[in-house]
Chain A
Amino acid sequence: MTFLSNLINGISLGSVYAIIALGYTMVYGIAKMLNFAHGDVIMVGAYISFCATTYLNLPPIVSVVLAMIVCTVLGVLIEGLAYKPLRKATSLAVLITAIGVSYFLQNVALLIWGSNPKTFSSMIHLGSVSLFDNKLIITAESIVTVLACIVIMIALTVFTKKSKMGKAMRAVSEDKDAAELMGINVNVTISVTFAIGSALAAIAGVLLCSAYPVLQPTTGSMPGIKAFTAAVFGGIGSIPGAMLGGILLGIIEIFSKSYISTQLADAIVFAVLIIVLLVKPTGILGKKITEKV
């Protein structure tokens, strides 16, 4: 039973990583940049939801929607103010800027909300499910997280395959110049990508803090880095890859914690990444395209 319960916890944590990883992978796919501030958008989302329920007494679902709106605006602003002017700059300049934005967000959060951790009360007010005479208890947080992850995955896949904006995003991710020559406004497409990624980050923030209720300005950084790892692990740029990478990473982390060592869990997670990249540098589902001349 502990095995099953660990597996479920792993899938649930992995689903959070997967939702965050989607933001990383979509932005990378389209803007060819690593948005290291993405993890901190998660933290902002969690704080907004926390404040909305604690101080404004809004219902949880409204607080989540509010968090999504704020994060969407924040994501588009970050892109427009910090990254857009660097569109033609070297990728190193963009990377350093992203790290700067990350610290900026953490410090603004520190100014507004202080360094004392807040206790985030779960946004999911449903009972847990008990199976096998209470030997296996699945929390409502786990169920909602996994369901949210599945719904988001399906919605994003349909969106990129069928909608006009989704197709434009695929075109931009493949070939920016050619997309521009088709009449696609590349800048708008990039903004939309940031908007979607940041809205997802808000959801991830609420789900993460509902399961692990300590909220402080650095809350987003470690899950952010792990989700980035998950995106690379699954094959950066690939939406199913981010999903698969996230869930595998969650399972590996929880299993390492319960069967090997709590202290070593993170080290094991990153060791697995290194091994995967040595064997398959493009990640599990990463594609390598051979171009014809």
Chain B
Amino acid sequence: MAEILNIENINVYYGQIHALKDVSLKVNEGEIVALIGANGAGKTTTLRTVSGLLRSKTGSIKFMGNDISHTEAHKLVSMGVAHVPEGRHVFLQMTVQENLEMGAYTNSANLKEGLEDVYERFPRLKHRMNQIAGTLSGGEQQMLAMGRALMSKPKLMMLDEPSMGLAPILVQQIFDIVKELNKAGTTILLVEQNAEMALEVADRAYVLETGKIKLSGTGKELAQSDEIKKAYLGG
């Protein structure tokens, strides 16, 4: 399996705070990799560093063999990285359709086909295509954020807490969509606090604790590890 993302020993600081300490992780093509951990462990920071919104002081980040540790965030989209940020961050004052159009900003050739694909995958968005995104429910906004990311036809999709604040039935639905997207050929790096769900869908997973990778393994291995059970699965 070809390596799609390779993070090696990155160190990220917020002023004096050392947020990521020598974090290394790999994502292979076609995988779902989960990054789990408690609040403040550095999961979001890791994703924001990959997408260029934050910078690592040392270490390297390679995407499909190219060093992207100094690439500006807006250039990564056309390289094939899509990042669905924590809290969805859809454009609340724009319509659903306009939000999706923004997703195809660097790939307008894919606009028509992309819209068809997204509306087929998320029929609820089609019903609401002319509605202002701010009027959508939390679950619909999450679908919109994922649909918007799909518009750029990403090779790697990074999802930050897609289940946050959603009702259990919706959480299941979102994870089903994640699995479908993966089957359709998108590699996924998933950040989750809901460790149980994340480990269930993930091929492999990493556990982040106060800025350090503490454990890694396949989803199954980690789900059965006593340490994980105690700390994250309420067992």
Contact = CB atoms under 8 A, between A and B. Distances in A.
Nearest to B83: A181
Nearest to B136: A292
A181 B91 CA distance: 12
A174 B77 contact: no
A290 B138 CA distance: 13
B74 interface: yes
Given A177-B89, A293-B138, A182 B77 contact: yes
A133 interface: no
Interface string A153-177: 0000000000010011011001101
Given A174-B92, A180-B74, A185-B74, A292 B102 contact: no
17 contacts: A170-B91, A170-B93, A171-B91, A178-B85, A178-B90, A180-B52, A180-B53, A181-B51, A181-B73, A182-B105, A182-B148, A183-B75, A183-B76, A183-B77, A289-B92, A291-B92, A292-B138
Contact of B94 (A164, A174, A177, A287): A174
B102 A167 contact: yes
A289 B78 CA distance: 31
Given A292-B134, A292-B141, A293-B138, A174 B74 contact: no
Interface of B: 51-53, 72-78, 82-83, 85, 87, 89-94, 98, 101-103, 105-106, 108, 134, 136-138, 141, 148, 152, 165
A215 interface: no
Nearest to A291: B92
**What are the 7 tightest A-B residue pairs by CB atom distance, in nearest-first order?**
A183-B77, A183-B106, A178-B89, A180-B73, A182-B105, A182-B102, A185-B74
Nearest to A179: B102
Nearest to A170: B94
A276 interface: no
A209 interface: no
Contacts of A58: none
Q: Which of A167, A170, A178, A289 counts the most B-chain CB atoms under 10 A from its CB? A: A178
Interface string A258-285: 0000000000000000000000000000
Nearest to A186: B74
A171 B102 contact: yes
Contact of A183 (B87, B92, B94, B105): B105
A32 B137 CA distance: 28
A15 to B, nearest CB: 27
B101 A174 contact: no
Given A181-B73, A182-B102, A184-B105, A289 B87 contact: no
Given A167-B101, A183-B105, A185-B74, A175 B137 contact: no
Nearest to A290: B134
Contact of B53 (A164, A171, A177, A293): A177
Contacts of A181: 51, 53, 73, 77, 82-83, 85, 89
A290 B133 CA distance: 12
A28 to B, nearest CB: 16
Nearest to B75: A183
A167 B98 contact: yes
B116 to A, nearest CB: 19
Q: Which of B73, B90, B106, B165 counts the most A-chain CB atoms under 10 A from its CB? A: B73
B85 A177 contact: yes
Contacts of B72: 185
A293 B165 contact: yes
Contacts of A171: 91, 94, 102
B89 A175 contact: yes
A181 B105 CA distance: 10
